[in-house]
């Protein structure tokens, strides 16, 4: 049993590492050329245009759902409209260059396109809901200083001196450190699901009429970042959960968690949270239902074939998996030494 779990974990990591490295390279470029202080000038206007800009500009930024909170609060206190802040809070953690790359590796090209489009639609809907019904809570004077990830979230707004090399240092040190814990959790959980959980049980739940709601109830209260949610989603898809239910999990998990919702309510107000969470629930359930109703199952066979057949992977994938694994251990050791 232990050997089966280890082999499944290794297979998921082997499929993930190379594309994660590629995503981190693009995240480095986004860190250098699309920083949050640049967004302040573009998000101050009120209305749908500001919401659309926030959705599009937040999508490539490599911030997780807890890391985006201080960034979004800072934008709001710097003058961004409340509806733009809502769109930014959703589009940024639900997608990103790193998660898109991992989605392509584990879930296939359909999800790699569908996931960011669904995230943009969810963000735009939430922004419009806040614009129409959200309350105007007075803006506080100073931005939030803490992040539940690893303390690096505010560094996203600092202009890196040194160009792309500084961006690479950020992506493969600060950002990867922030992702490390939940990334390992996601890979390990995916391996355990594939090795130990009876596929018939998951398939029965995943194909039921309540599958979309179950995935929503699982995704909303917990925190799992976009990158870490991808191997879990791949394992669920292989086990028989419907593609639409998997999409609901991918949309709800990264954008919501109980701690984050409490902070958003404290900063933006109760009606803001109601519009924000309501848009996520309605849009994710609607998109999940549409996917299950009209999309051919053959579109989503990539992940099942990839994971179920236990392909050995290319030499480059193995090198990336080993090198990135060793580097993650080094980062955790250095973090432990600093804490001491």
What is the DSSP secondary-structure string of 272-329? HHHHHHHHHHHHHHHHHHHHHHHS-GGGGHHHHHHHHTT----HHHHHHHHHHHHHHH
pLDDT at 101: 85
How far is residue 266 CA from its own chain's centroid?
A: 23
Tell me phi and psi for residue 193, to 5 degrees. -60, -45
pLDDT at 64: 64
pLDDT at 154: 44
Burial of 289 (0-12, 13-18, 19+ CB in 10 A): middle
What is this structure's pTM? 0.74
Q: Which residues contact 85 (CB under 8 A, 6 or more apart)?
A: 43, 54, 72, 73, 75, 76, 130, 268
Low-confidence ranges of the chain (pLDDT < 70): 30, 34-40, 62-67, 70, 135-162, 182, 197-203, 222-223, 257, 259, 301-313
pLDDT at 146: 44
- Give the count of domains, the chain: 1
Domain that holds residue 189: 2-339
Alpha helical stretches, state H, the chain: 2-33, 36-39, 48-58, 68-77, 82-94, 97-107, 109-133, 163-169, 176-196, 199-206, 211-219, 226-239, 243-255, 258-268, 270-294, 301-308, 315-339
pLDDT at 3: 85
What whole-number distance in Å separates Cα of residue 320 and Cα of residue 14? 8
What whole-number distance in Å separates Cα of residue 256 and Cα of residue 153? 17
pLDDT at 218: 81
pLDDT at 274: 92
DSSP string, 104-133: HHHH-HHHHHHHHHHHHHHHHHHHHHHHHH
pLDDT digits (tens, 9 = 90+) for 267-282: 888 899 999 999 999 9
């Amino acid at each position: 049993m232990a050997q089966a779990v280890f082999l499944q974990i290794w297979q998921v990591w082997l499929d993930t590492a190379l594309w994660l490295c590629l995503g981190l390279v693009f995240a480095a470029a986004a860190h250098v050329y699309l920083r949050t202080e640049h967004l302040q000038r573009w998000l101050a206007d009120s209305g749908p245009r500001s919401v659309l800009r926030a959705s599009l500009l937040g999508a490539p930024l490599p911030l997780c759902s807890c890391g985006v909170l201080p960034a979004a609060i800072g934008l709001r206190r710097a003058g961004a409209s409340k509806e733009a802040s809502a769109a930014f809070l959703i589009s940024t953690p639900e997608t990103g260059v790193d998660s898109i790359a991992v989605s392509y590796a584990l879930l296939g090209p359909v999800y790699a396109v569908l996931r960011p489009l669904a995230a943009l639609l969810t963000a735009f809907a939430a922004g419009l809901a806040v614009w129409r019904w959200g309350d105007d809570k007075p803006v506080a004077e100073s931005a939030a200083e803490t992040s539940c990830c690893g303390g690096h979230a505010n560094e996203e707004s600092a202009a890196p001196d040194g160009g792309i090399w500084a961006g690479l240092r950020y992506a493969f040190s600060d950002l990867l450190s922030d992702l490390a814990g939940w990334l390992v959790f996601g890979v390990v959980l995916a391996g355990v699901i594939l090795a130990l959980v009876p596929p018939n049980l998951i398939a029965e739940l995943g194909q039921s009429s309540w599958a979309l709601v179950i995935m929503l109830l699982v995704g909303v209260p917990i925190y799992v970042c976009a990158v870490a949610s991808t191997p879990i989603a791949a394992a669920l898809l292989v086990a028989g959960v419907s593609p639409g239910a998997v999409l609901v999990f991918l949309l709800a998990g990264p954008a919501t968690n109980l701690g984050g919702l409490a902070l958003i309510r404290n900063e933006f107000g109760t009606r803001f949270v109601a519009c924000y969470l309501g848009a996520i629930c309605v849009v994710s359930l609607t998109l999940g239902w549409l996917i299950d109703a009209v999309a051919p199952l053959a579109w989503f066979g990539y992940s099942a074939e990839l994971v179920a057949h236990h392909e050995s992977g290319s030499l480059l994938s193995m090198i990336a998996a080993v090198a990135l694994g060793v580097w993650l251990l080094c980062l955790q050791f250095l973090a432990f030494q600093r804490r001491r």
